[in-house]
Amino acid sequence: MVDVVSDERPVAPAGGRRPLTSLTSFVGRETDLERVRAALAERRLVTLTGPGGVGKTRLALTVASEVRSAHVVELASVTHPSQIAPAVATALGVPDQSNRDAVDRVVDHLGGEPVLLVVDNCEHLIEGSVALLRRLLEALPDLTVLATSREPLGLWGEQVHRLAPLPVPGDPDAAGSRSLDDVPAVRLLLDRARSVLPEFAITPANRAAVVELCRRLDGLPLAIELAAVRLRTLPVSQVVERLGGRLHLLKAPVRDAEPRHRSLHALIDWSFDLCGPDERLLWARMSVFPASVDLETLDGVCGHGELDGDRLLEALDGLVGKSVVLADRDGESVRYRQFVPLREYGAERLEASGETVEVRRRHRDHYIRRAEAVIDRWCGPDQARDLATLRADHPNLIAALAFSVETPGEAVGGARLASQLRYHWIAGGFLTYGRRWLERLLPHLEEGSAQRGEALWVAAWVALIQGDRAEARGWLAECSRIAHARGDLALQGHAAHWTALLHLFEGDLDDAISCYRRAIALHRRMGLQGPELTAAFQLAMAQTYAGRSDEALVTAAAVVDGATAVGELWNRGYGRWIAAISHLHLGGLDAAREAILATMRIERDFRDGVCTALSIEVCSWIALASGRAADAATLSGLARSVWRRLGTSLAAFGPHASAEGQEHAARIDAALGRERAEALRDEHADVALPDAVRLGIALAGSAETPGPAPTPASSQPPTGDPLTSRESEIAALIADGLSNRDIGERLVISRRTVDGHVERMLRKLSFGSRTQIASWMASRSR
């Protein structure tokens, strides 16, 4: 599976996974592909260099598509060196719920497994990219890096592969001395031309013009692709004629004086001139978007003045038709984007027009409105959809915050956006980003202002989840002073709420309960149902650890009922989680199991790393109380894996939760023996978050009658045939070396179904791995 986030393809949700696909064929790079493969087999760092538009990204992604353990991160939308490591962590799907250095989290996430990391578009952040890659390569001996940049990185051991433009025809080819079919530049031109003009062909009449066009464009793939679009309305000879008059007039760009770059710039310049006034204006205004956007956003940011009303849509249609803007479709959803060179060109035009600050402000303010809309409807059924939209918009959100920090007088708007994005930071898994931007904005906010108070409690919330109580304490004290000085009841409620969480995490349960009751009353008075539900489930946690589990169940039930009534899932999941702990404390194992499974099923969609880790811990405790010590150890290992990826532990959630976790760990060790328990934990100590949720549900859902203590995995398996016919069929395929995915395809069932069968077989046979199932099947056939 390849994690792909690239400026020249649809942007995947941060941390998400998207298979590498392309709507156009890969032409003329077979030799380069072989050379890069060979270089990667010998070197740990290979850098593809060459001018913009030469195809570095396309080649890198093609290589990545062949490697199962490849991950791709693009840096085109990253504007500051401090954002590089978090961008890598996001592309890898590393949960952002810790205050640990992003590089350390990436190192832990990748572990010791062989991995190919593709880092795309390093040229504008060379020093920062070098510093990051040096640390990763030193810490991860099995890591291989494929970078793309307009210039080498300069790291020791780097193998540079300069990607040249495609070979072009020679002078004799224009006269028809030989076939052009094997000339890569011509092959690309033909392929792209036929996508807009299916009947296009090389004829004696246009042959010389085809050769001349490829030569004038120096075989630069992006230039050829842009020129091919013109063949829809112009013959090849006129394309050559109109392009030819521009090349000698242009000054070379400062960063690259090569003639082939002048060719690309000339073609973009010509493409710009061929656009109508509205299309040119939209092209320039779209340059403020570092990633793809939907039509609503385009209209909100760019649809003003000359582009008001239907004129924006008509201009957008024209730019899509001219291949200046790409439309990425996912069902009924369409997002629009530009190639990096076209966006850079648009930014030059926007700057020349004097509109840059105005359009960037409109860009920021649009995302403020979008974030506020998420807050307004958070306590409802749209949470998962809103989080997915914010993840897709993440590069644009960061660009908006960067504008606010870097532009005098814009900090208040930036703080407003950063504060309203709180659920993106917390539930969406971007804590490091949220805290960094809030900390950068706070010094610019007026002392005692309402906006500073808002930013302070959001920053404190982020810090508490990261385990940084000291910083949170100072921010909350200041927030409380502002709230009371201004007589702001809503702000007082938030200050009391997160001060209560601080008390809870410090073990001061009576103070926490008192603060929560005050916060809940204020939230209710101000009509803030979402914060009220959040404070209530946290109150239930304080109650159950204060020995008042019956009260906690009443509080948690009210949370679940309130959330269910409005179709809300996030607080409902946490409400079920604390109810499970309360039931467990009261000896209600079945009720505890039912409650925690409800939370785990919610996490299949939310994938909130903290809630997942907390819930798997409780699954382990319930399994142990049910007499299934081996399952409890396995679940403990799964929780350990998630905590490790988060960069935190159960200890961050206060001394009471930590003590309960330690007690259950000791009981598991006593039941199985420490060596056996640790072996089971270690076997599942490096599981990805989605797999941890799936396996946790499978193991927690088992309600088998407790039997004798499980035998070690090294002992003899059961005699007879303990497996069902379907399980035996799957076991035979495991013995044949098939993966769970392959088995699902062979039997025409889902991989999840196969995973469930395998987990049940492991428990029945008291095995710890699929390898033992294969060995057992082999022994039975002898």
Phi, psi dihedrals of residue 381, rounded to the nearest 5°: -85, 0
Residue-wise pLDDT for 180-205, tens only, equals 878 899 999 999 899 888 999 999 89
Residue-wise pLDDT for 761-772, tens only, equals 887 787 766 767
Domain 30-162 CATH (choose: 3.40.50.300, 3.40.50.1860, 3.40.50.620, 1.10.260.40): 3.40.50.300
pLDDT at 657: 93
What Å distances lie between residue 386 and 290, 358, 549, CA to CA? Answer: 20, 27, 34
Mean per-residue pLDDT for 360-375? Answer: 97
Q: Quickly name the fold that domain 725-781 has.
A: Arc Repressor Mutant, subunit A (1.10.10)
Residue-wise pLDDT for 658-674, tens only, equals 999 999 999 999 999 99
How far apart CA 679 and CA 684 sit, in angstroms, is 9
Q: Find the angle CA(565)-CA(568)-CA(569) to the nearest 5 degrees.
A: 125
Mean per-residue pLDDT for 277-288? Answer: 96
Query: In terms of Cα–Cα distance, which of 615, 384, 423, 382 is closest to 534?
Result: 423
Mean per-residue pLDDT for 308-317? Answer: 93
Q: Is 2.40.37.10 the CATH classification of the domain at 275-354?
A: no
Which helix (H) or strand (E) covers residue 336, if one does? strand 333-337
Mean per-residue pLDDT for 245-269? Answer: 50
pLDDT band at 262 (very low <50, low <70, confident <90, very high): low
Mean per-residue pLDDT for 171-188? Answer: 77
Residue whose token pair is 């890198």 = 60
Top-confidence residue, 167 or 24: 167
Phi, psi dihedrals of residue 183, rounded to the nearest 5°: -90, 115
Quote the crossing angle between the two packed helices 655-672 and 629-646, to the nearest 10°: 140
How far apart CA 749 and CA 356 sit, in angstroms, is 54
Give residue 703's Cα distance to chain centre. 35
Topology alike, domains 30-162 and 275-354: no
Residue-wise pLDDT for 566-617, tens only, equals 999 999 999 999 999 999 999 999 999 999 999 999 988 787 888 999 999 9
Top-confidence residue, 748 or 646: 646
Mean per-residue pLDDT for 766-782? Answer: 69
Mean per-residue pLDDT for 23-42? Answer: 82
253 pLDDT above the threshold of 60 = no
Residue-wise pLDDT for 339-357, tens only, equals 777 888 899 999 999 999 9
pLDDT at 146: 96
Q: In what order do the strands lie in the sheet with 70-74?
A: 70-74, 115-120, 143-149, 45-49, 158-162
What three-state secondary structure class fits 772?
helix
pLDDT at 174: 64
Eight-state DSSP code of residue 49: E
392 pLDDT above the threshold of 70 = yes
pLDDT band at 295 (very low <50, low <70, confident <90, very high): very high
Radius of gyration of the chain (CA): 29
15 pLDDT above the threshold of 80 = no
How far apart CA 29 and CA 639 sit, in angstroms, is 45
Top-confidence residue, 427 or 474: 474
Under a CB-based contact definition with an 8 Å cutoff, are residues 591 and 569 in contact?
no
pTM over 0.85: no
Token pair of 52 as six digits: 């913009």
Residue-wise pLDDT for 220-251, tens only, equals 888 888 888 888 888 999 888 877 655 433 33
pLDDT band at 708 (very low <50, low <70, confident <90, very high): very low
Q: Where are the domains of the chain?
A: 30-162, 171-254, 275-354, 355-428, 588-710, 725-781
Q: What is the 3-state secondary structure (H, E, C) of 505-527?
A: HCCCHHHHHHHHHHHHHHHHHCC
Under a CB-based contact definition with an 8 Å cutoff, are residues 592 and 583 in contact?
yes
779 pLDDT above the threshold of 70 = no
pLDDT at 415: 97
Over the chain, what is the mean pLDDT?
Answer: 85
How far apart CA 461 and CA 483 sit, in angstroms, is 16
- Give the whole-number percent of the chain exceeding pLDDT 70: 88
pLDDT at 164: 83
Residue-wise pLDDT for 95-151, tens only, equals 766 677 888 888 888 877 788 999 998 888 889 999 999 999 999 999 999 999 878
Under a CB-based contact definition with an 8 Å cutoff, are residues 55 and 163 in contact?
yes
How far apart CA 165 and CA 48 sit, in angstroms, is 13
49 pLDDT above the threshold of 90 = no
Residue-wise pLDDT for 52-111, tens only, equals 778 888 899 999 988 878 889 988 878 788 889 988 988 887 876 667 788 888 888 887
pLDDT band at 11 (very low <50, low <70, confident <90, very high): very low
745 pLDDT above the threshold of 80 = no
pLDDT at 93: 79
269 pLDDT above the threshold of 90 = no
pLDDT band at 702 (very low <50, low <70, confident <90, very high): low
